[in-house]
Structure 1
Amino acid sequence: MPPKTQPVNGAAIKNAIEGRDGKMLASFYADDALVRVIDRNNPPSKPREIRGRAAISTFWDDICSRAMTHKVDTTIADGDNLAFTQACAYPDGTKVFCAAMLELKDGQIARQTVVQAWDE
């Protein structure tokens, strides 16, 4: 289990995402966390589900290893819920937009739902 180095909050999420720090991002999740991704290839009736910190770590390592920029635009916190929007761009100009809702439990991310769209 990676050490928890800082609390999960908007600033920490922004720093880790914009810094492309997959290990830091993975450290924010509970061992049994669930990330659901909804997009063109994974519709609401059949979202992609990534279960457990190990699988989530692989997910973030993949995203953070890509040659692209990430910018967290808006973050809203309300109790044990945190939401943010993220704009990404590949070097060829392709853009991706993501809206994420996180449910926190005991200071870690227990559930996350991501809705994303990209240029085609």
Structure 2
Amino acid sequence: MLTETKPVTGAAIKHAIENRDGRMLSSFYADDALVRVIDRNNPPSKPREVRGRAAITTFWDDICSRAMTHRVDTSITEDDRMAFTQSCAYPDGTKVFCIATIELKDGRIAEQTVVQAWDE
């Protein structure tokens, strides 16, 4: 089943994330997009880099397949830049918090940087 391509907006990102729709999320990215992840295991000097829509689709499919809830709390848009915060919880009560910045090019996500922290 193909997901209809929708404009990249804060509302569309919120809908896709909260509904764990990896296909919709991956449709927001340019073919050559880059997602950079910074966390305890991937420090700023060596962030995880996910390049290209195929790899980003795999990334989102993995996240969306996990038994957890996702809530987008805040989103901000200015010209071709966006930012949002996301709160997640696993069934065992473990919480994750994420903040992401996005740069759009020709209406698609060209670069995204994600900083996340988990309960330990």
Report TM bin, short chain.
over 0.9
Is 1:17 the counterpart of 2:17 in the alignment? Answer: yes
2:106 matches 1:106: yes
What is the root-mean-square deviation in Å for CA atoms of aligned residues? 1.0
SS at match of 2:99: strand
Task: Report the identity percentage.
Answer: 80
Amino acid at match of 1:93: G
Secondary structure of 2:34's match? strand
TM-score (norm 1): 0.97
8 Å CA contact 1:4–1:28 kept in 2: the answer is no
Unaligned segments of structure 2, at least 5 residues: none
Aligned residue pair count: 119
CA distance in 1, matches of 2:51, 2:104: 15
Rounded to whole Å, the distance in 1 between the matches of 2:69 and 2:35 is 21
**Which consecutive unaligned segments of at least 5 residues does structure 1 have?**
none
- The answer to whether structure 1 residue 64 and structure 2 residue 61 are counterparts is no
Deviation at 1:4, TM superposition (A): 5.5
Runs of 4 or more consecutive aligned structure 1 residues displaced over 2 Å after TM superposition:
none
Which residue identity is paired with 2:25?
Answer: L
Compute the displacement of 1:5 (Å).
1.8
Instruction: Identify the residue that residue 76 of structure 1 maps to in structure 2.
Output: 76
Distance of aligned partners of 1:12 and 1:31 in 2 relative to their CA distance in 1, 3 Å threshold: same
Q: After TM superposition, give the deviation of residue 6 of structure 1 in Å.
A: 1.0
Q: TM-score, normalised by structure 2?
A: 0.97
The whole-number CA distance in structure 2 between the counterparts of 1:21 and 1:117 is 22
Q: Which amino acid aligns with 1:115?
A: V
